[in-house]
């Protein structure tokens, strides 16, 4: 009786009463459906679409789009827009066949392991530019229960970087990626990029994010490194171990989406 549209006003009290509806239930339901409709419209709007994909829409861009629509009420909140964008992008990445194939084959474009010599040793450099939000590679290794990872951690010498990454899944399960067992069982001839990245607290340019990739045989918990800023060719790829100290003490991390 009251079709929801993008730009119309909700049914007035008089119209609702005339149709036999009392109270605000129909009114609130109508506004809720319009809100979702407007939210989806904002995300799909042409002037924002260039920033969709791996790029989070900016506050100014969202405000510009909303201002053009002449909406005076029931405006989508920026937090809801960003959360919807995050959910959309996370879902897109989790079913991305190219990313799933790269994880399976450990063939990532635009990266190279380089020996810097001296105390620094090996690290990873970019051989092509990346933009903020791009997926660079995964932290690769066998997934084991956190309890098993803690046992391996206890056997390490003090101060040793053991290539054990502890994290928590969306459901709260505590897991560990064992990248110290090298080479890994599934890629015996490969040294993986994730374990070779060096640390920088101030100059880090990638951030670990937890995903559940949709492989043909089911979902797999995966840590992907996403660019936290634009990366140029020949830049060294760095991430902040310090932010994730708990992950190397066996406590595990709740890893959020790249949101800054």
At 175, is the secondary structure helix, strand, or coil?
strand
At 125, is the secondary structure helix, strand, or coil?
strand
What whole-number distance in Å separates Cα of residue 84 and Cα of residue 94? 15
pLDDT for position 216: 93
pLDDT for position 132: 87
Overall fold of domain 97-249: Beta-clip-like (2.170.270)
pLDDT for position 258: 37
Which token pair is 128?
């092509």
pLDDT for position 236: 97
pLDDT for position 48: 52
pLDDT for position 100: 96
pLDDT for position 169: 85
Give pTM, 2 decimals: 0.67
Asked whether the beta carbons of 76 and 42 are under 8 A apart, the reply is: yes
10-residue stretch averages of pLDDT, the chain, 260 residues long? 94 94 94 93 64 60 83 89 76 92 95 90 94 92 90 70 80 86 70 89 91 93 93 95 52 44
Any idea where the domains of the chain sit in the sequence? Answer: 13-94, 97-249
Beta-bridged to residue 224, according to DSSP, are 138, 209
pLDDT for position 53: 46
Which token pair is 12?
């007035």
pLDDT for position 250: 44
């Amino acid at each position: 009786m009251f079709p929801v549209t993008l730009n119309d006003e909700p049914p007035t009290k008089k119209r609702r009463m005339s149709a036999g509806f009392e109270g605000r239930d129909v009114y609130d339901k109508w506004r809720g459906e319009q809100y979702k409709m407007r939210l989806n419209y904002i995300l799909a709007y042409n002037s924002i679409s260039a920033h969709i994909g791996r790029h989070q829409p900016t506050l100014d861009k969202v405000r510009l789009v909303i201002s053009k629509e002449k909406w005076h009420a029931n405006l989508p909140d920026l937090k809801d827009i960003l959360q919807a964008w995050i959910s959309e992008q996370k879902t897109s990445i989790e079913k991305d066949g190219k990313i799933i194939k790269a994880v399976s084959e450990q063939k990532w474009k635009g990266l190279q392991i380089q020996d810097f010599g001296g105390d620094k040793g090996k690290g990873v450099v970019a051989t092509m530019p990346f933009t903020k939000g791009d997926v660079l590679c995964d932290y690769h290794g066998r997934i084991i229960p956190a309890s098993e990872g803690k046992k391996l951690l206890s056997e390490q010498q003090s101060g040793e970087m053991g290539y054990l990454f502890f994290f928590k899944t969306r459901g709260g399960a505590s897991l560990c990626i064992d990248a110290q067992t090298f080479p890994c069982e599934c890629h015996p001839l490969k040294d993986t990029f994730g374990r070779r990245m060096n640390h920088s607290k101030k100059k880090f340019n990638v951030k670990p994010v937890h995903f559940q990739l949709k492989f043909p045989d089911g979902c797999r918990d995966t840590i992907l490194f996403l660019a936290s800023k634009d990366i140029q060719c020949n830049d060294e790829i760095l991430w902040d171990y310090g932010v994730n100290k708990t992950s190397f003490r066996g406590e595990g991390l709740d890893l959020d989406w790249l949101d800054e």
